[in-house]
């Protein structure tokens, strides 16, 4: 097999030279690298700890807010093309040996700020897309990839024997999630199942803070600014809020002054 058609928009094609599979959308290959990558955080103790200690948490997909995300039922032994309507359960997405970090290529999307920072009460970090550098512990994972998510019009089951089956399951979501423009760091965990993955804080390019956090939670804002001063003093900090006259977001640089 050298090609596989998902729908009239997406297909997979084997890259013979690289030895892997590439997604195509409307006949054009989807890039395997992104210019900028952003990670959104709601405001809680775990996420402040992650900022302070410079790590990602490698999530098990069972914790995702979409039960169809990474669902085992996307893979079947049968050539079933009836799609998501024939799935018998929506809970079969517990992968104890896999970890995922969800990121996005867009920071100026109001839905992302509303959904993933709890209505502008959280923050986001920026990396250069080619520098989402991680510092895994020895033996933490055997293989990893940073890949885009696709959003076909209809989910279809594929055979588990297909060489791209796991990648397809890990990177396919329903069409109405397309606004996320998601990229995922996906890794196969080692025997210790360590889900704390440290990153190089020198590679962080900017910190973005939701305006509701600044307005309603001064102590949390001071805490983030204190972490910035100690660990990330050279990068800019922006406060994000709706423009007062236009239907768009505004990014006000507050540090360094």
User: pLDDT per residue over 48-96, tens digit each?
Assistant: 999 999 999 999 999 998 888 998 888 875 544 444 445 455 556 888 8
Top mean pLDDT of 79-83, 117-121, 189-193 is at 117-121
- pTM, 2 dp: 0.91
CA distance 120 to 112: 9
Average pLDDT in the 201-229 region? 97
What residues contact residue 195 under an 8 Å CB cut-off, 6+ apart? 57, 58, 59, 60, 99, 189
Task: Tell me the average pLDDT of the chain.
Answer: 90
Could you tell me the end-to-end alpha-carbon distance of the chain, in angstroms, rounded to an integer?
Answer: 57
Average pLDDT in the 36-41 region? 98
Q: What is the pLDDT of residue 80?
A: 45
Average pLDDT in the 17-46 region? 94
Average pLDDT in the 132-142 region? 77
Q: What is the pLDDT of residue 89?
A: 52
Q: What is the pLDDT of residue 226?
A: 98
Alpha-carbon torsion 117, 240, 127, 220, what sign? negative
Q: Is the pLDDT score of 250 beyond 90?
A: yes
């Amino acid at each position: 097999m050298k090609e596989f058609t998902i729908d009239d928009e997406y297909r997979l094609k084997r890259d013979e030279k690289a030895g892997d599979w590439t997604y195509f959308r409307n006949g054009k290959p989807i890039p395997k690298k992104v210019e900028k990558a952003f990670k959104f955080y709601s405001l809680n103790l775990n996420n402040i700890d992650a900022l302070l200690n410079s790590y990602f948490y490698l999530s098990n997909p069972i914790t995702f807010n979409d039960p169809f995300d990474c669902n085992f039922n996307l893979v079947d032994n049968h050539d079933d093309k009836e799609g998501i309507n024939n799935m018998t359960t929506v809970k079969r997405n517990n992968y104890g040996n896999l970890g995922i970090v969800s990121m996005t290529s867009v920071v100026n999307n109001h839905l992302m700020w509303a959904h993933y920072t709890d209505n502008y009460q959280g923050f986001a970090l920026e990396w250069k897309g080619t520098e989402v550098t991680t510092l895994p512990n020895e033996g933490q994972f055997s293989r990893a990839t940073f890949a885009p998510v696709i959003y076909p019009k209809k989910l279809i089951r594929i055979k588990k024997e297909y060489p791209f089956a796991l990648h397809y399951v890990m990177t396919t979501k329903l069409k109405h999630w397309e606004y996320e423009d998601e990229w995922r760091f996906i890794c196969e965990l080692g025997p210790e199942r360590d889900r704390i993955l440290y990153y190089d804080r020198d590679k962080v390019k900017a910190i973005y803070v939701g305006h509701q956090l600044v307005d309603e939670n001064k102590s949390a804002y001071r805490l983030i600014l204190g972490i910035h001063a100690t660990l990330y003093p050279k990068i800019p900090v922006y406060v994000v809020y709706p423009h007062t006259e236009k239907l768009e977001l505004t990014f006000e640089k507050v540090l360094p002054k």
